[in-house]
Structure 1
Amino acid sequence: MRRRLFLAGGLGVAACLAGCGTERYVPGARRPYTIRAGGERWRPVTRAFVGAVREAGFPVTGPGQAVRLTVTGLPALAAAELNDGQTLVETATPLARLAGEVEVVLVPADSRFRTFDDFGAHLLARPGQTPLAGGPLGDPDHLLFGLIAKGVGADTRQVDYTGYPNSAEAATALFAGRAAAVVGTLADWRAHIDQKRVRVLAVSCAKRFPGLDAPSLLESGVRVDFANWCAVVGPAAMPEEVHAPAVGMCEEVTGSTAWRRVCRTGGWLPIPLAGEEFVQWLASEVRRTKAVMRDLGLLGAR
């Protein structure tokens, strides 16, 4: 497996959270919140979440006597593992999952792989001769190809994957014949799809995505339901009198029509999950992320 251009995202999350629990919180039914993005990639969804929080009637202010929250997501888990750091479960207080970006498996319009079954059969038979591309090593695109390879029964250690810093460079590799297939977010590849320059073999979500003539991975026989998800977390060791209202705020906002509206506008799937259920899901996601990274040879046995 080729390893190129590892640009892990989310490395600043732990540092941000480490000093964020020292404020004195002002009691009240509608606590003020300070909400920041844990990296450049999270700024659009953070802006959308802040708007929905305000629309729900919760005050959002600058730093000071406010509950400090951070929006982060899946790449931060992989970055922590690659850098032998602590996970979000250890460095922060998980509050709620917000939304996810749908990923798509794509080939050039003239590819010999007419269906996902064609592609899966080739990947199973020749994993080292099926050049794949997507985002940087350890990013969601890479993880999804690892899950797909395992799902079709291929040797994940033999997967030939090249990581690129953005979808434009991955597209150049695909159209130049340096990759047989790519994975990326639907939003990043929508223009190429609409121009019919690429064909979508499968979508990563559990069901077919509206407007796309492509099966889900589950429908294609690969037991994977995957999204490049983001979530909101608080500082480590949040006191209960702060934690419970914050979870309640997240539940109210992510269950609102305003949140569904901004997700539709932003091209995200609303996948709300809050409180203890989210904590349990996040623990399972940490385990899945570690497992696929080990399968891909990114992590040693530990």
Structure 2
Amino acid sequence: MLTYLSLAVLASVLMALGLLMMKSRSADLPMATGANTIGAIVAWIRDPIWIGGLGVQTAGWACYVIAVSRAPVSMVAVMMQGGIGLFVIASVAVLGERATAREWVGIGAIIFGMLMLTLSLQGGEAEVAFEPGTLLMFTVLLTAAGLAPMALARMNASGAAAAIFSGVAFGLGALFTKAMTLEFGGDAVLVALRLLSNPYVYGMLVANILGIVMLQNSFHSARAIIAMPLSGALSNIVPIIGGMIVFGERLPAGSVAATMRVGAFALTIAAGALLSGSREQLPREAVVVGPLSRVKS
């Protein structure tokens, strides 16, 4: 179990680094909106730093898939929450963004939550009782909830709506990934064939692509220190709740371990909310690009 949770920590580091690379290019790359969506995405792909960041993120995702295939998705999600703290620190050190006392408290709370989770591992087990219908209903309800903030002009302008939807999309992607890994095991060729016909593979791909696009869009209107915690907190809340509802994951049998586990979940969620409530930063001038055109520098 510790091996796979260590892989989750490595995944969180790689994903934070990849996002930092992608955020560093947000001022020079266009937003993917309306008729310019395809052109903007092509511009992102042509940018060597942005595509490099996506590659680092993909490596982190591969580590995540291995971790979630053998560990409860709710536990892996909490370990992944540490990536928020890493990203905030890197945003201050590399991007020059300023952190407040409130934000440092949030980072400390995330680290302490990970320690509590580690101490609770001896009592943790997963009970896989996957319900496809429950996952479908959960997906529909959360998608509607994630889209709701986009109806508010203020949240759209601040980048919060895009960050919220990206977090929901990434969280659903984590649940689809867990469902996908249930096909692992046995002959490699048979596993590959089963995965090609597995709807959760395509759900995972769509969810993660939407998450990346919406998070990159939020980087144009919000500080990294705001957008990433907001997206990251939601992307971990979704699989924590979904792991219990959809996959029947349970708490440790011991009361002390169970209390630490619940405390770790609550503390990391609260820390994400604490970080996301920081003051907004005015966006830089947006880059405009036509369909399939190059970025103007």
Task: Say which structure is richer in strand.
Answer: 1
Q: TM-score, normalised by structure 2?
A: 0.27
Question: Larger C-alpha radius of gyration, 1 or 2?
Answer: 1
Ranked by relative contact order (alpha carbons within 8 Å, sequence separation 6 or more), the top structure is 2
